[in-house]
Amino acid sequence: MARIVDLTEAHCDALLRFFTDLPEGDRTFIREDVTDPDVVRGWAAGSPDVRRWVALDDDGQVTGYAAVLRLPGWSDHVGEVRLVVAPAARGSGLGRELARHAVVQGLGWGLAKLVVEVVAEQGAALALFTGLGFTGEALLVDHIRDRNGELRDLMVLAHHVQDTWAGMSTVGLPEALGEPS
């Protein structure tokens, strides 16, 4: 399985290759221009309100990316999860491992709730996040436009991490998983 590490400047070139190699359709649903070196370098420079990780294979190539962005102001107890997995690594469990890492890190960061936005047609992504305890919170009809001009529905899923992990901690599950309680 891939190694998940904090994103640093040393990963910028590999992360740019990762994003550039994604099919155009995958990049459609990423807000930022992830093929812009300045964007990726800015991410590596860090921000107090964002945590970012990359999954590296044995050759040091990026096979996945995850981030948790703390929302501002009155929603600063909420983090938005972002997740991208290389097509060749999909179905291998890497997405689940990255998403789980983001949830655990969000909890350690003191967040009480995590949200993720998923295009309604992305069944595998919906299954991945619901399998980790995320539940539907909103369906935004015709909310995004893809690069072909087609309107798509967007689902917002939420995970109340404090509630879930408090129950897990009671039975010792975080320790069994090798995570901090």
Question: 75-118 pLDDT, tens per residue?
Answer: 999 999 999 999 999 989 999 999 999 999 998 899 999 999 99
pLDDT of 22 over the 80 cut: yes
Q: pLDDT band at residue 176, thresholds of 50, 70 and 90? A: very low
Q: Domain 3-176: which topology?
A: Aminopeptidase (3.40.630)
**What confidence score (pLDDT) does residue 173 get?**
46
pTM of this prediction? 0.86
Q: In terms of Cα–Cα distance, which of 157, 95, 102 is closest to 126?
A: 157
E strand segments, 49-95: 50-56, 62-70, 78-85
* Whether pLDDT at 129 is above 70: yes
Question: 155 with 100: CB under 8 angstroms?
Answer: no
Where in the chain are the domains?
Answer: 3-176
Give yes or no for residue 181 having a pLDDT over 50.
Answer: no
Report the largest interatomic distance among the alpha carbons of the chain, rounded to a whole angstrom: 49
Least reliable range by pLDDT among 64-73, 103-112, 127-136, 143-152: 143-152
